[in-house]
Amino acid sequence: MFDPVKVEGQKILITGPTGQVAAPIIDAYGPHCELHALARFSNADDEQALQAKGVHTHKIDLANGDLAALPDDFDYVIHLAVVKSGDFQYDLKANAEGSGRLLKHCRNVKGFLHCSSTAVYEYAGHEPRKEDSPLGDNHRSMFPTYSIAKIAAESVVRFVASEYSVPTIIARLSVPYGDNGGWPFYHLLMMQNGVPIDLHPEQPNVYNPIHADDYIEKIPRLLAAANPDAPTLNFGGSQPVSVEDWCAYIGELTGLQPQFKMTDSAFGSLQIDPTAMHEAIGETQVDWRDGIHRMLKALAPDSLS
């Protein structure tokens, strides 16, 4: 297992800083390092809020290729930016070519974490996906460009990492969640509003939700595992949990009843095989029930019965 790299005192760039995954990382690492943040900052308030936390912001669209104004002396890059506009040309430019340009620009880093997704795997029922499992257009029904753009991004990142010898790691994230939300929180909102939750008929619909506390602890270990071969690892919670089970638990906590709608267009199970992840960075620690309970306490305390 890799020891974590030191975050303290390092110059770190985080892309996608206004997104769900980045927010808890910024709060955790920000006070201890020189944190830079890159996004389009389509919402100016988001940029000001980061600046108020002492984060250096860089207003850049990864689709347009101009990184001249971005420093190139970061110690680490945590590349989380993603766009799912539905426009293939734009999304491939931003997510795939943009990742390659960013990696090339930051080629002197000690470690570059490229955040991918388990959405790159082909649907395979209940088979836990290994890193070499077949890839496919998994999320097409809801996000038409997403899986293809994430697959393309991984390839571009591997090419640039090898071409410029940049220590890189590709992490295929499962379902991130925490006190600032995530997919299970959307399910709470759907339950509160009587909106049916899509499920694939091949039940149960199993994922590996990973709590923010765990990804905050694991990212420095992932960065330690980076090398120019750009190893690729699944990145999820060690406990597999089904949508059915986490919705039932939200029901227990709130007294709400989930309504499910069976449809082949639901993503279906995307359980990971965590073997390689455990060898590299160890098991995650937050029990999923505790994590979901904490999330409800933080975001919807009135919903708890």
Instruction: Compute how many other C-beta atoms are within 10 angstroms of the C-beta atom of residue 299.
Output: 16
Closest Cα to residue 167, out of 105, 245, 97, 224? 224
Q: Which is nearer to ligand NAP, 17 or 167 (CB)?
A: 17
Does position 280 interact with ligand NAP (CB under 6 A)? The reply is no
Q: Which is nearer to ligand NAP, 226 or 304 (CB)?
A: 226
Q: How far is the CB of 129 from ligand NAP (least distance, A)?
A: 13
Does position 144 interact with ligand NAP (CB under 6 A)? The reply is no
Does position 89 interact with ligand NAP (CB under 6 A)? The reply is no
**Exposure of 132 by Cβ count < 10 A (0-12 exposed, 13-18 middle, 19+ buried)?**
exposed
CA torsion angle 135 141 144 149 (round to 10): -20
Q: How far is the CB of 297 from ligand NAP (least distance, A)?
A: 21
Q: How far is the CB of 83 from ligand NAP (least distance, A)?
A: 4
Report in angstroms the alpha-carbon separations of 288 from 107, 178, 211, 291, 295. Answer: 37, 10, 8, 5, 10
Q: How far is the CB of 255 from ligand NAP (least distance, A)?
A: 26
Total of residues contacting ligand NAP (CB under 6 A): 26
Q: How far is the CB of 289 from ligand NAP (least distance, A)?
A: 19
**Per-residue mark of binding to ligand NAP, 169-198 (x: CB under 6 A):** ----x-xx------x---------------
Terminal Cα distance for the chain, rounded: 41
DSSP 5: P
Does position 62 interact with ligand NAP (CB under 6 A)? The reply is yes
Find the length of the chain.
Answer: 305
Q: How far is the CB of 15 from ligand NAP (least distance, A)?
A: 6
Does position 63 interact with ligand NAP (CB under 6 A)? The reply is yes
Q: Are 80 and 22 in contact (CB under 8 A)?
A: yes
**Per-residue mark of binding to ligand NAP, 39-58 (x: CB under 6 A):** xxxx----------------
Query: What is the rounded CA–CA span in Å between residue 135 and residue 150?
Result: 11
Q: How far is the CB of 66 from ligand NAP (least distance, A)?
A: 11
Work out which of 13, 109, 115, 206 binds ligand NAP, going by CB under 6 A. Answer: 115
Query: What is the rounded CA–CA span in Å between residue 295 and residue 66?
Result: 38
Strand, helix or coil for residue 240: coil
DSSP 118: G
**Per-residue mark of binding to ligand NAP, 1-20 (x: CB under 6 A):** --------------xxxxxx
What are the beta bridge partners of residue 248? none
**Exposure of 113 by Cβ count < 10 A (0-12 exposed, 13-18 middle, 19+ buried)?**
buried
Q: Which is nearer to ligand NAP, 81 or 272 (CB)?
A: 81
Which residues 213-272 are close enough to bind ligand NAP by CB under 6 A? Answer: none
Q: Which is nearer to ligand NAP, 54 or 255 (CB)?
A: 54
Residues at the interface with ligand NAP (CB under 6 A): 15-22, 39-42, 61-63, 80-83, 94, 115, 117, 173, 175-176, 183
